[in-house]
Structure 1
Amino acid sequence: MQKRTGSFLLIGLFLLSLNAVAQDKNFYIFLCFGQSNMEGNARIEAQDTVNVDPRFQVMEAVDCPAINRTKGNWYTAKPPLCRCRTGLTPADYFGRELVANLPSTVRIGVINVAVGGCKIELFDKDQYTSYTTNVPGWMKNMIREYDGNPYGRLVEMAKLAQKDGVIKGILLHQGESNTGDTLWTKKVKVVYDNLMNDLDLKPKKVPLLAGETVGADQNGKCASMNKIIATLPQTIKNSHVISSAGCTDSADDLHFNAAGYRELGKRYATQMLSLLGYKPMATN
């Protein structure tokens, strides 16, 4: 019996050592979710497709045979970073800015699950079923790409990613479809708390970075929502609001243009670098 117990102990220690070897503590992973401004609405320009450091990776959250990507695998983070035909996102230049400013031993990975036009309720695992009942058909088509459950897909991909690296933060850009909703911060907290529990994360170690909608200085149609977004740190202690002031937008005054996404992404990165104990030195 003692020999058998000893064998089981050795096997357990061996398996633990394999996991330790597989997980790279210098592979920083960030979860990204939200609606169309996180999904990426701007056309990807030539400058966005070159000089992407292979240290910046994206885990594909859907199958994209047209660009030779398979769900659940890592690829150099050349856009699109959300789904197969989405545009430029804040995550693009967030990752580029991080790798430009962090030690060469550090890699960055992003997982982006976003659905244009959705309310925050779509990411509430207890509310999404009832919420999706009455959404437009075009939104249902996007949700279907995540097997009907974007939150579930985000968690599924995040668990895979945790085998490779360490989740260091969460990026949110959402709120346009909840404009005027004074309960928005509490609804975001439900999603954040669920992620902490489902992924066994500690809130003190995993900050939430939430970007403002297109600002009033750009005549943003949902700019009033920024007053509500500004109160998020009162509800989630380890949350930080990323200003959109000066980030240029498209003609619809709802979405940022490519230049706006680049700037906003860099601002997410500046905040994250500060939280990691680094001061930005380079700009990609």
Structure 2
Amino acid sequence: MACVSLTFGQTDRENSSSPSLPPKEKFHLYLLVGQSNMAGRGKVTPEDQTKNPHVLMFDQEGQWVPAVDPLHFDKPKIAGVGLGRTFGLEIAKDNPEITIGLIPCAVGGSPIASWEPGAFDKATKTHPYDDTMKRAAAALPAGELKGILWHQGESDSSPEKSELYEEKLHELIARFRKELDAPEVPFIAGQMGQFQERPWNDAKKKVDQVHQDLPKDVPNTAFVSSDGLKHKGDNVHFDAESYRELGRRYAKAYRELQKANAKP
């Protein structure tokens, strides 16, 4: 198996931290996009940093390394456990011959308008969509894109923004599929947190309905419920165990999509 090193103008890491990659057809890649509940804000434990040779991540320096939390680096001081690593571990169980590659690109606090070409996110001084496409261009040659995982919506839960959300999300899915040359790639959206301490307003309910309606409105998409999940004490972000459960639910939704698409 070939050893691949990809950088963004930085020096290579030591060889010991750069794992050998499998053949392209056995390296299944997943794009992780959205805002902070995709990036993850859960408390990291030693178990969350246990390496698994079958689950890798494309790190900030543009190298494939073992996937350990935090996967994301959008806000380094608060990034933590998210749903991505558990999703990868679950999917890796399905076929021991396959290696999973996670491409973390979420940006905390980003409204969907910042997930358009040229858009700038002032809080993080990043271009969420453009940066994602650059990372995808660097990461995807090593494997095959098998799915896009999306968790976002809190920043669009206002009367004005929620009215535009359906159109923007459908456009985003189409744009990802076109520009990544993956017209049928599965797209899975997760439900925002349902926390008693922070009741939903009408705008948030509207955004949620867009998520729930995806499977009937856009081909090869799925919706993942957040029923029963808890927050970390801030009424906004899930706690670590809820992120892990969310990862399991995304994996279940992905498997169901794959089963539905399987040829008889």
TM-score range, shorter chain: 0.7 to 0.9
1:183 corresponds to which letter in structure 2?
L
Q: Secondary structure at the match of 1:240?
A: strand
How far residue 220 of structure 1 moved from its aligned partner, in angstroms, is 4.6
User: In structure 2, which of residues 164, 187, 190 is the aligned counterpart of residue 208 of structure 1?
Assistant: 187
Evaluate the alpha carbon distance shift between residue 251 and residue 162 of structure 1 in structure 2; reply closer, same or farther with a 3 A threshold.
Answer: same
User: In structure 2, which of residues 167, 174, 180 is the aligned counterpart of residue 193 of structure 1?
Assistant: 174
Q: Secondary structure at the match of 1:259?
A: helix
Question: Does residue 1:116 correspond to 2:97, yes or no?
Answer: no
- String of CA shifts for 1:24-71, please: whole Å, max 9, x gaps: 112110001111101111121222122x311101001x3xxxxxxxx2
Tell me what 1:56 maps to. Answer: 55
- String of CA shifts for 1:200-252, please: whole Å, max 9, x gaps: 112x2x01100000125x54544634233212234422211101101221222
Aligned length: 230
Tell me what 2:228 maps to. Answer: 246
Tell me what 1:89 maps to. Answer: 82
- String of CA shifts for 1:155-209, please: whole Å, max 9, x gaps: 112122221110011000000111150321221122222212221112x2x0110
User: In structure 2, which of residues 54, 67, 71 is the aligned counterpart of residue 77 of structure 1?
Assistant: 67
Q: Structure 1 unaligned runs (5+)?
A: 1-20, 63-70, 279-284
Q: Secondary structure at the match of 1:37?
A: helix
Q: Is the deviation greater in 268-277 or in 102-111?
A: 268-277
- String of CA shifts for 1:109-167, please: whole Å, max 9, x gaps: 111111211111111115x14xx4xx5xxx1xx2x3xxx32211211121222211100
For residues 1-284 of structure 1, what are the structure 2 equivalents within 5 Å? Answer: 24-50=24-50, 52-60=51-59, 62=60, 71-83=61-73, 84-85=76-77, 86-100=79-93, 102-125=94-117, 128-129=119-120, 132=121, 135=122, 139=123, 142=124, 144=125, 148-180=126-158, 181-202=162-183, 204=184, 206-216=185-195, 218-222=196-200, 224=205, 225-277=207-259
1:193 corresponds to which letter in structure 2?
A
Q: Secondary structure at the match of 1:251?
A: coil
1:55 corresponds to which letter in structure 2?
H
Q: Distance in 1 between matches of 2:219 and 2:26?
A: 25
Q: Distance in 2 between matches of 1:183 and 1:210?
A: 17
Q: Secondary structure at the match of 1:228?
A: helix
2:223–2:253 CA contact under 8 A, matched in 1: no
How far residue 22 of structure 1 moved from its aligned partner, in angstroms, is 8.4
Evaluate the alpha carbon distance shift between residue 277 and residue 27 of structure 1 in structure 2; reply closer, same or farther with a 3 A threshold.
Answer: farther
Runs of 4+ in 1 over 4 A off after TM superposition: 218-223
1:123 corresponds to which letter in structure 2?
W
Q: Secondary structure at the match of 1:255?
A: coil
2:222–2:254 CA contact under 8 A, matched in 1: no
TM-score by length of 2: 0.80
Computed over aligned residues only, the root mean square deviation of the Cα atoms, in angstroms, reads: 2.2
